[in-house]
Structure 1
């Protein structure tokens, strides 16, 4: 009987060890996804993933002993993948109540965007900061983007024109299909430079809002444990000053 109990205990220990090892391998393989966000998450022509989001995740993964893989998709698909646990981390979403129901957001945001309106240079159009005065049929927004609580509360009333991508939105503005384009400065300035249209469009004040971007995690137990670990490593990265140096190098604004 004693020998039988010993064998059973040994077998259970071996099973538990294999289960632990299997869980560790699974937990250590991280897929982080997003779309092209200038200086936050991009892919170079030679296939390298760059940007503050990618750099931060690499550091957190290395500290945690994880292997990380990156992929860029259309924004709607990247969000769907994390919501449906096809990937562990979504890079860069702004936080909303609707998104908090789908994802586990990091404790701290890792970048801040200024949301603003752009018009064609030479136009005499202006905006007084009153959202109710925004002309819906002449206002373009980017599909899947959020612009702050004030705008979102009036979105259904404003009824803006939706562009599939930022590049599409800028082209719509140039082609006079819209007179205003709501976007963020970081992405827009970089994209206009790439397209060679910086001299044709301009930002106007007042700003619409400020939005903070996060790392967001899928909502299962493993992702929640990953989020908590990465939050701890992120605090060390921030408190040690390395985060500030990374952001300064890339020209990304950090939240206070």
Structure 2
């Protein structure tokens, strides 16, 4: 019944957009992602949204971002009820049902947080006995496809995750570098929890549904996105968002070749 309601809603939505020229309806998680995007009064704002809007506009497309719970956002694109999904990690399964724009839109640094005396170091595989903590709702399917599945515990709060790691109930907590470090300090665990090495870049993409013409469009978007990241327009956008040194910002042509 819920799925039918979503289908009817989007058939009506697409009918309303039919008279508009070249509109892409893109599903996005209905939560803010610090440093990437935020929802403000129903509108998606932030640097990732601005980048994609500008690149799509150059190809003659307007973007309509629609908020959904994360799994629903991805499923809507897979079912071709939207034209695509925003800031999605690439996995083999997703690549079989979606057309990924090959140039990544953004990057986040993944860190495996441990106690100071831990000898854990991610070397491409998880042991089956490793007790890994992640945040509830986060999708680690790509990592598990490539690295094996450990014993996973999901947490609904960072405080609970930090306490569990400090008490030895989990061996490792996986999350982003900058935001997690700030939360560790906020909760007073800076002496008890540290990042392990190596620190790993993780890339996020726009993925289009398999509607007719979307494969070709994904190739066009990939070329235009790569060109934009190396353009003065990107440097100007970074300044708007307070990035003082554009050379230190994300550039796919540099990051993917490192």
Q: TM-score, normalised by structure 2?
A: 0.70
Tell me the equivalent position of 2:212.
221
What's the CA shift for 1:55? 0.7
What's the CA shift for 1:50? 1.9
Equivalences, count? 222
In structure 1, how many angstroms separate the alpha carbons of the residues matched to 2:242 and 2:212? 33
- Moved runs in structure 1, 4+ residues, more than 6 A? none
Tell me the equivalent position of 2:39.
43
Tell me the equivalent position of 2:250.
253
Pairwise CA RMSD: 3.3
Tell me the equivalent position of 2:65.
70
Tell me the equivalent position of 1:145.
139
- Taking the TM superposition and a 5 Å limit, the aligned residue runs for 1:1-256 are 25=19, 28-35=22-29, 36-44=32-40, 46-119=41-114, 124-130=117-123, 131-132=125-126, 135-136=129-130, 138-142=131-135, 143-146=137-140, 152-156=145-149, 158-163=150-155, 168=156, 170-176=158-164, 178-186=170-178, 188-189=180-181, 192=183, 197=186, 199-200=188-189, 202-207=193-198, 209-247=200-238, 249=241, 253-255=250-252, 256=254
Unaligned segments of structure 1, at least 5 residues: 1-21
Indicate if the aligned counterparts of 1:38 and 1:186 stay in contact, CA closer than 8 A. no
Q: TM-score, normalised by structure 1?
A: 0.70
* 1:206 match: secondary structure: coil
In structure 1, how many angstroms separate the alpha carbons of the residues matched to 2:93 and 2:21? 27
Task: Write the deviation string for residues 179-237 of structure 1: whole angstroms up to 9, x where unpaired.
Answer: 531112255357x39xx836435441203532211111111213234323423432442
What's the CA shift for 1:60? 2.2
Task: Write the deviation string for residues 60-113 of structure 1: whole angstroms up to 9, x where unpaired.
Answer: 232233332212322211110111112212111122211111211112112222
In structure 2, how many angstroms separate the alpha carbons of the residues matched to 1:117 and 1:81? 31
Query: Which structure exhibits the higher relative contact order, with contacts defined as CA atoms closer than 8 Å and separated by 6 or more residues?
Result: 1
Indicate if the aligned counterparts of 1:115 and 1:207 stay in contact, CA closer than 8 A. no
In structure 1, how many angstroms separate the alpha carbons of the residues matched to 2:63 and 2:199? 36
Indicate if the aligned counterparts of 2:121 and 2:198 stay in contact, CA closer than 8 A. no
Indicate if the aligned counterparts of 1:148 and 1:209 stay in contact, CA closer than 8 A. no
Instruction: Rate the CA distance shift 1:223–1:159 in 2: closer, same or farther, 3 A.
Output: same
Indicate if the aligned counterparts of 2:25 and 2:66 stay in contact, CA closer than 8 A. yes
- Whose radius of gyration is greater, 1 or 2? 1
* 2:175 match: secondary structure: strand
Name the structure with the higher helix share: 1
Unaligned segments of structure 2, at least 5 residues: 1-15, 244-248
